[in-house]
Structure 1
Amino acid sequence: MIDRQEFNTRAEALRPLFEDRLRIKTRDLRQAFHRAGRELPRGIRGDGALLGKTEHLVANPHIARQLEDAPVWAAFDRVTTHLREIDGKARRRGKILDRLAGIAFNILVVFVGFVIWLWWRGYV
């Protein structure tokens, strides 16, 4: 049996981690994991699907009594551990460097194309 209060307190504890580490602000877990998408590994996304489904089911007390609590708490622990390991500054720095590398590559391709065009036309 899953205690509704404990589930909600753990879900509320995940919300600041999503905001700080992934810059995702949501009302519920299902939406948070949906917005995180491919930024999370496959196993964590699976745990997120379980937590989102459980969040919906735990609202009904009769169904909450029928749910196993061990997999849900283990999923919470895995998700919390993973979110705490994410470095937000390094993620932002990586995104900026990826964009700059893409821009530099495009400039290089245009420059090489221009030099080839000059050679083809006989100017070089």
Structure 2
Amino acid sequence: MVLLERKQFLMELTRLFQKCQLSVSMFITLKKYDGRTKPIPRKGSVEGFEPSDNKCLLRATDGKKISTVVSSKEVNKFQMAYSNLLRANMDGLKKRDKKSKSKKSKAAQ
């Protein structure tokens, strides 16, 4: 897994979207990140570890993994750039058929 700066991550994510537009699926995950690089041992506890601030770990993969860490201070700026990127590249999604949904609900009754 490659840990990138935020601007580099957005550029690589744009490349992944262009590459995966027609043929390959890609996955994006977001989770809370406390700064640990190793798991907590089951027996015993790690005392004295206090995360300095809340962070998010954002990963994207299509076989090649890229990731970035965003701190709580920079999340608004990153979120704007990330949402613009998603809007620009998610044009191949299918619209939901409202008629089939209503037929399924009628059939269940």
The TM-score range, normalised by the shorter chain, is under 0.3
Higher helix proportion (structure 1 or 2): 1
TM-score normalised by length of structure 2: 0.23
**Bigger Cα Rg:** 1
TM-score normalised by structure 1 residue count: 0.22
